[in-house]
Chain A
Amino acid sequence: GESVGLHLPTLSVQEGDNSIINCAYSNSASDYFIWYKQESGKGPQFIIDIRSNMDKRQGQRVTVLLNKTVKHLSLQIAATQPGDSAVYFCAEREIQGAQKLVFGQGTRLTINP
């Protein structure tokens, strides 16, 4: 599934390096945030989530940081691998309990060998 915009932000990193993808969200009332990864020909795949009452959450090789003061979300990927190459989207939930998500524009991450 093509997910790129004409002017999609891009990030290139060397294999093995760490990468940080940033996202600014829009609604200070949003209570839940998710990072998704989308590879070509596929739908978005859940990576990690964080609730608004937290500022950091860690998963396997991934960490999400939430700064509610400036409405900023980041995704850190440690020791990047070729399989990490994809488009990454942040999403916020503006209505508690609803399934409606508001997605960011996406960032294309390319891992160079």
Chain B
Amino acid sequence: KAGVTQTPRYLIKTRGQQVTLSCSPISGHRSVSWYQQTPGQGLQFLFEYFSETQRNKGNFPGRFSGRQFSNSRSEMNVSTLELGDSALYLCASKLAGAYNEQFFGPGTRLTVL
């Protein structure tokens, strides 16, 4: 069974640009969440989607947005990039159910110049 896949793995952008990151969950997983990982702030929750609906959102500015498609694939978008947005963006998926394991993808490394 394939794991969570994220594309692209590495990305370089300049300030002011926008970026879209993609996540394909494990087959059958309808719950997808996104996290930002930086050396200074650690792992921080961005948002959670289930069946195309955003269920929770972290404390990030409106420049960070996401969506989920009917096939459970998810994208996140960051507009007007800032230097501080440089980070590893991780996607995780899980089966529905309160105590099912959350599986993480390898992440997309975004560098903003």
| Chain A interfacial positions (CB closer than 8 Å to B) | 1-6, 32, 34, 36, 41-46, 49, 51, 89, 91, 95-106
Contact = CB atoms under 8 A, between A and B. Distances in A.
Contact of B98 (A1, A43, A91, A97): A97
Contacts, number: 78
B48 A103 contact: no
Nearest to B38: A5
Contact of B106 (A42, A95, A102): A42
B40 A3 contact: no
B105 A105 contact: no
Interface in B66-88: 88
A100 B102 contact: no
Contacts of B44: 103
B109 interface: yes
Interface of B: 4, 31, 33, 35, 37, 39-40, 42-45, 48, 50, 55-56, 58, 88, 90, 92, 94, 98-99, 101-107, 109
B40 A98 contact: no
A43 B4 contact: yes
Nearest to A98: B56
A26 to B, nearest CB: 13
B24 to A, nearest CB: 14
Contact of A99 (B40, B48, B109): B48
A3 B88 CA distance: 9
A19 to B, nearest CB: 21
